[in-house]
Structure 1
Amino acid sequence: MEHSLATFLLLLILISIEFISSHAIPNQDISYMKFVHNANDQPIQEKYDYIVIGGGTTGCPLATTLSSKFSVLLLERGSDPNTYPFVLNEETLSYVFILEDDGQNPIQRFVSEDGVENIRGRVLGGGSMVNAGFYSRGHREFFETAGVDWEMELVEKAYEWVEETLVSRPNLSAWQVAFRNTLLEGGVVPDNGFDLRHLMGTKTGGSIFDNKGNRHGAVELLNKANPKNLKVVIQATVQRIIFNGLSAVGVLYSDSKGKLHTALIHKKGEILLSAGAIGSPQLLLLSGIGPKSYLSSLKLHVVHHQPHVGQFMTDNPRFSRSIVFPFQLLASSAQVVGTLEKNIHLQSLASPLPFYPLPSYGLLPPQSTSITPSLVVFVGKFSNVSSKGWLHLNNSSTDSKESPIVRFNYYSQHDDLSRCVRGVRKVEDLLKTQTMERFKTQDLEGNKGFQFMGLPMPENLWNDSSVEEYCKNTVATYWHYHGGCLVGKVVDDNYKVIGIKNLRVVDGSTFSDSPGTNPMATLMMLGRYVGLKVLQQRSS
């Protein structure tokens, strides 16, 4: 119950956020729509040099990069974001959370076996079209432990390629200024000012929202594509990958009417799976790549025994503290981050919390207006999660539209609890700063304090077991889940599926850690980076 309340409070904040940033990027450029097509209108069979499955945060820059020299088909199960204009502006973002999941809207809901509510992007542009827009590059340890021999100069160029099109520097709202001062006063130093890099201390990060609150997600990277070489097909649900022996040769996808289409690759071509940490392992399993005994038990044809597909699933648990102020604050999304040792990240959001008095039958004067207190939430996560889970197919259905069964095993490893305990204690320290003192209210007896919402904090914060129990009782997602197709387990250091020709997985399912405060920047970088590496390898 407690994690549901925490999620509700966070989404309530998103409802009324108004984003402000300093230098403008023009309103969304939808030039890419010239080569976006509906799956219903596509031929029964086509052939391309490259097929990218998943038009999300990684798939869009990947397909764009490959199109510079080769023909590319990009398949996306969702619609284009213009169909749902509320995802294009920060003020109306929360609508995606309150809509019923009709199988078409931009977010697909699921509940893990842990009982924690979660979401998946289902729209061209993926998670970058439904998130809070905070942009920050990955941390050093991510690159050191990813199992990839990175060309760091190419990594830098790939980040810059993304940033020149999508990223703005935000003007801090009044609450974000106060939160920044709170972090610094609370010892989260140094003060790094504005920076897109991952840094210890306090900093203002980038945003993919412009000064009018318009979103510039990964979908706009398609505008950099060669329009003669790229076809984007939406409402195209890939059912499985087609193999000839141990070589991937094409994909079978269905349109919104259930009609099947086949897309094949030319000689020397490849299929690149970018369906995300849920979709990519699911599609590999449905296509016959996974544990032999498990696939056989589901009567699925086994193409290749791969015991690690769907394993090592990880989600970054969110801890939070919610406070009601008896006065109005302007809405504010997360623009500032404080990063502690062990990559513990702290952010905060604020929102007006309108209150409308119920009919009073003469108790209140006619035309009584509402009062507007505010809700402030301190939120935290840690990048390096030790607890690992798994993903299985839904035994009742082998339809890729159905969400698979996922368990993340939150806090099953004590290291994670220790990080949560440290983060919770730091939040409590921040609430004792002089900056926060002026936000306290006084009761009739003269006692000053905060009005908290949610499960009360343990009385003794230095009792580890009490705080650990608090962490477990309030667990919620930060929506940064990853794993299922790890480098060194399922794919090699070039993201090629081990034991299979012409098939790569390029997305967050290959991550063993979540890069930095928010993985979005690194996911877009990865699409560009791998695309450039594929072009290099093919030319040589």
Structure 2
Amino acid sequence: MLPQHADVVVVGGGSSGSVVAARLSDDPGRSVLLLEAGQGYEPGPTLPSELRDAALIPVGPGSEWTAAYSAHLTEGRDATVVRGRGLGGSGAVNGAYFIRARPGDFEQWPRSWSYNEVLPYFRAIETDADFIGGIHGSDGLIPVMRTPPHRLHPVSAAFHSAALASGHHPVDDLNAPGPVGVGRVPMNVRDGARHGPGLAYLMPVMGRPNLSVQTGTKVVRIVLSKRRATGVEVADGASVRRIEAGRVVVCAGAVCSPQLLMLSGIGPSSHLRSLGIDVVHPLAGVGDGFSDHPEIAVPYRYRDVVPTPAPLLETVLHTDALEFRAYTVPFGTAIPGSGVVDPVLGVVLTRPRSRGSVILNPQDPSMPPVLDYRYLAHPDDRAAVRGGVRTAADLLSGMTEVVAPGSVAVESGRGEPSDAWLVSHLGTSLHLSGTCRMGDDEHSVVDERCRVHGIEGLSVVDTSVFPEVPSRGPHATAVMLAHRIAVESS
């Protein structure tokens, strides 16, 4: 049963919300209410197998653990993108890639978020099974491991060898600052099971008397009074119910966090007025200027049958602006229902210049918002991925143990991949960041403590506050951010 009041209401029980709710409830004198629109689960033997198996990514069509959004990736390329929905969020259903942002990524953040400032919190969240001491943690809640070299999937082993043969630097620890190169992926996996923030942080404290977790509960609006958040409204069947709060922390993700702010009257004035939403507090940056990693899938065929299952991504190659992903199996194998039968080598642009926007659905603002990525709009982005595809083809040509001869077909224009080929093979890494970005300029939404500018008692804590998408996947950085904000708020 929903309480009528809580000291803190946390909206969204995903990767960040799980951490925030758990850590804030460490204080027995503070009541915490976590509201999650998706469904929950119990740890242990009853945990659904699709959430437990790190080799399975249950985000395909019809998944009960995701929400789907229509997206315009670039001119001539639309797609449906999915985000985790349920306790643990995307961290409960992703590929368990747990690589930290690099020191240079934090140069765009406020000074208090420099690499040296955040390193203690990266250590605090993890227990690294492969590296002890130094920059790594040994008593954090997230287990981190890498597939041992002798157990690498044949695709992973062949890719690693091909990258070394091409002159790329071997990197033992991709979570360490230093030279870029090829190495094994740090994964939040224990005994073959995905172990995200929902399981690691939230489940062990679910029995606390001061923590209430309500799933299947959709927050429709933040209640504001005189520029202060005083509670939330939740959909309760045919009616709307109000819950009072001393503080509201929005952790609904980079899509739904800006949507909720805008539905509450916080956002770009012209956009809200055009939809008949009263402007309570104008903030031009809500939903605008996000970044994400575009990904080109370079298909090929196996030489022979390769063994499965395995984690989808065991090895990656990093260059200054690109990440090459040697997926172990076709997406159709790892993501049931996706229908992708050919294996691919992913080419990811890690430092994109193009920026996108999240806007409310003009037909019904309460429905899933509209995502406009504007991928490859910047000419430098297009040039970078075009060069990356050429590099990918060269790497695949060196993976003779697993790649069938002549199976790498890249349609070319003037000796390089054509624009049409790039667009037809374009996807997204689902690393959307920066829809409520942190900073102190006129387009920022939150300050360096994740407090919404101009509104007391309201914070946003998830990847939406990143100034820009990190040059690595954002999951480890999101957990670090949530842990730090919660601990320093106690």
TM-score, normalized by length of structure 1? 0.77
Within 5 Å, give how 1:353-432 maps onto structure 2: 375-399=342-366, 402-432=367-397
- How many Å separate the matches in 2 of 1:345 and 1:323? 18
Does 2:35 align with 1:75? yes
Partner SS for 2:234: strand
Partner SS for 2:39: coil
- Structure 2: stretches of 5+ with no match in the other structure: 128-140, 334-340
* Equivalent of residue 62 in structure 1, options 20, 24, 48: 20
1:216 is aligned to 195
1:456 is aligned to 410
Question: What does the per-residue CA deviation read over 1:393-440, in whole Å, with 9 as the maximum and x for residues that have no partner?
Answer: 1122232xx21111111111112112212211211221233xx23445
Within 5 Å, give how 1:95-106 maps onto structure 2: 95-99=58-62, 105-106=64-65
- How many Å separate the matches in 1 of 2:472 and 2:457? 33
Is the contact made by 2:314 and 2:328 (CA closer than 8 Å) also made in structure 1?
Answer: no
* Equivalent of residue 324 in structure 2, options 321, 337, 346: 346
1:26 is aligned to none
What residue identity is the alignment partner of 2:273?
Answer: S
* Equivalent of residue 300 in structure 1, options 272, 277, 281: 277
Partner SS for 2:193: coil
> Given the superposition, is the C-alpha separation of residues 321 and 76 from structure 1 closer, same or farther in structure 2, using an over 3 Å criterion?
same
Shift of 1:533: 2.2
> Given the superposition, is the C-alpha separation of residues 261 and 160 from structure 1 closer, same or farther in structure 2, using an over 3 Å criterion?
farther
- How many Å separate the matches in 2 of 1:271 and 1:158? 23
- How many Å separate the matches in 2 of 1:347 and 1:393? 33
Shift of 1:263: 2.0
Shift of 1:54: 0.9
| Pair member with larger Rg | 1
- How many Å separate the matches in 2 of 1:352 and 1:234? 33
- How many Å separate the matches in 1 of 2:469 and 2:126? 20
Q: Which stretch shifts more, 223-232 or 470-479?
A: 223-232
Shift of 1:56: 0.7
Does 2:243 align with 1:263? yes
Q: Which stretch shifts more, 167-176 or 213-222?
A: 167-176
- How many Å separate the matches in 2 of 1:73 and 1:515? 30
Question: What does the per-residue CA deviation read over 1:438-486, in whole Å, with 9 as the maximum and x for residues that have no partner?
Answer: 4455xxxxxxx2324xx7331654x4xx444432332111111122111
* Equivalent of residue 484 in structure 1, options 406, 431, 435: 435
Shift of 1:523: 0.7
* Matched residues, number: 448
Shift of 1:91: 6.7
Partner SS for 2:397: coil
State the Cα RMSD in Å: 2.5
Shift of 1:392: 1.4
> Given the superposition, is the C-alpha separation of residues 195 and 398 from structure 1 closer, same or farther in structure 2, using an over 3 Å criterion?
closer
Does 2:136 align with 1:173? no
1:18 is aligned to none
Shift of 1:148: 4.8
> Given the superposition, is the C-alpha separation of residues 148 and 244 from structure 1 closer, same or farther in structure 2, using an over 3 Å criterion?
farther
Partner SS for 1:144: helix
Q: Which stretch shifts more, 199-208 or 332-341?
A: 199-208
Is the contact made by 1:116 and 1:477 (CA closer than 8 Å) also made in structure 2?
Answer: no
Partner SS for 2:15: coil
- How many Å separate the matches in 1 of 2:22 and 2:213? 10
Partner SS for 1:242: strand
- Structure 1: stretches of 5+ with no match in the other structure: 1-40, 356-373, 442-448, 536-540
> Given the superposition, is the C-alpha separation of residues 354 and 407 from structure 1 closer, same or farther in structure 2, using an over 3 Å criterion?
closer
What residue identity is the alignment partner of 2:107?
Answer: E
* Equivalent of residue 283 in structure 1, options 260, 284, 302: 260
1:471 is aligned to 422
Is the contact made by 2:106 and 2:115 (CA closer than 8 Å) also made in structure 1?
Answer: no
Is the contact made by 1:86 and 1:95 (CA closer than 8 Å) also made in structure 2?
Answer: no
Is the contact made by 2:40 and 2:215 (CA closer than 8 Å) also made in structure 1?
Answer: yes
1:533 is aligned to 488
Is the contact made by 1:330 and 1:350 (CA closer than 8 Å) also made in structure 2?
Answer: no
TM-score, normalized by length of structure 2? 0.85
What residue identity is the alignment partner of 1:346?
Answer: F
- How many Å separate the matches in 2 of 1:159 and 1:91? 22
Question: What does the per-residue CA deviation read over 1:178-224, in whole Å, with 9 as the maximum and x for residues that have no partner?
Answer: 211111112221x122443365111112212333x322111021145
What residue identity is the alignment partner of 1:451?
Answer: S
Shift of 1:295: 1.6
- How many Å separate the matches in 1 of 2:123 and 2:465? 22
Is the contact made by 2:218 and 2:234 (CA closer than 8 Å) also made in structure 1?
Answer: yes
Is the contact made by 1:346 and 1:381 (CA closer than 8 Å) also made in structure 2?
Answer: yes
What residue identity is the alignment partner of 1:142?
Answer: D
> Given the superposition, is the C-alpha separation of residues 345 and 155 from structure 1 closer, same or farther in structure 2, using an over 3 Å criterion?
same
Shift of 1:78: 0.5
1:27 is aligned to none
* Equivalent of residue 111 in structure 1, options 53, 58, 70: 70
- How many Å separate the matches in 2 of 1:198 and 1:130? 28
- How many Å separate the matches in 2 of 1:168 and 1:91? 12
Identity of aligned residues (%): 28
1:250 is aligned to 231
Within 5 Å, give how 1:225-236 maps onto structure 2: 225=205, 227-236=208-217
* Equivalent of residue 222 in structure 2, options 216, 224, 241: 241
Partner SS for 1:513: coil
Does 2:453 align with 1:495? no
Does 2:25 align with 1:48? no
> Given the superposition, is the C-alpha separation of residues 456 and 421 from structure 1 closer, same or farther in structure 2, using an over 3 Å criterion?
closer
